[in-house]
Amino acid sequence: MAGQLNKNRYEAVTHDIRVGVAPHYLDDQSSPESGQFVWAYEVEIINEREDTVQLRDRYWNITDAQGRIEEVRGPGVVGEQPILNPGDRFQYTSGCPLSTSSGFMVGSYTMVGENGDSFEVDIPAFALDLPDAGRNLN
């Protein structure tokens, strides 16, 4: 189950981990005349499982309007590797600069369960569009 919840929030559920993302264009940090467009995205991760999990790694695939792809991998998110007990939620905000006025992001988190097994959790694809532009998420 993945898709757009409302105009600005996207959600996916994998292995009973719910990931919601809400992107926002940052007009005050962008400089379109210089080819600099900046978005913030708020992420909420909810553990709907019956066991505790830890977020260990992240993977992002960022594509701009010219089809250029940047891949980002690393430990945790915003300097943390949060542990989520059943019912817990973890929220953070991060950002993404592009040299084009639109693009999209998609990714995954590597989680580890109490039994030590690791598994991937989908981060839903979401559009990075200017506020008054149409959506082009394909």
Q: Is the pLDDT of residue 2 over 80?
A: no
Q: Is the pLDDT of residue 119 over 80?
A: yes
- Sequence-separated contacts (24+) of 2-9 with Cβ below 8 Å: 2/122, 2/124, 2/125, 3/124, 4/126, 4/137
Name the β-bridge partners of 94.
Answer: 41
Average pLDDT, the chain: 92
Contact of 6 with 111, CB cutoff 8 Å: no
To the question of pTM greater than 0.85 for the whole model, the response is yes
Per-residue confidence (pLDDT) for residue 7, from 0 to 100 = 59
Per-residue confidence (pLDDT) for residue 8, from 0 to 100 = 83
The DSSP bridge pattern shows strands 37-47 and 89-98 to be antiparallel
* Domains, the chain: 2-129 (2.60.40.1470)
Kindly indicate the confidence band of residue 57, based on its pLDDT and cuts at 50, 70 and 90.
Answer: very high
Per-position DSSP letters for 26-78, written without gaps between them: -GGG-BGGGTBEEEEEEEEEEE-SSS-EEEEEEEEEEEETT--EEEEEEESBT
Taking the C-alpha atoms of residue 105 and residue 70, their distance in angstroms, rounded to an integer, is 10
Least confident of 2-11, 16-25, 64-73: 2-11
> With b meaning 16 or more CB within 10 Å and e meaning fewer, what string describes 56-69?
ebbebebbbbeeee
Find the farthest-apart pair of alpha carbons in the chain and give their distance in angstroms, rounded: 52
132 C-beta neighbours (distance < 10 Å), count: 6
Q: Is the pLDDT of residue 76 over 80?
A: yes
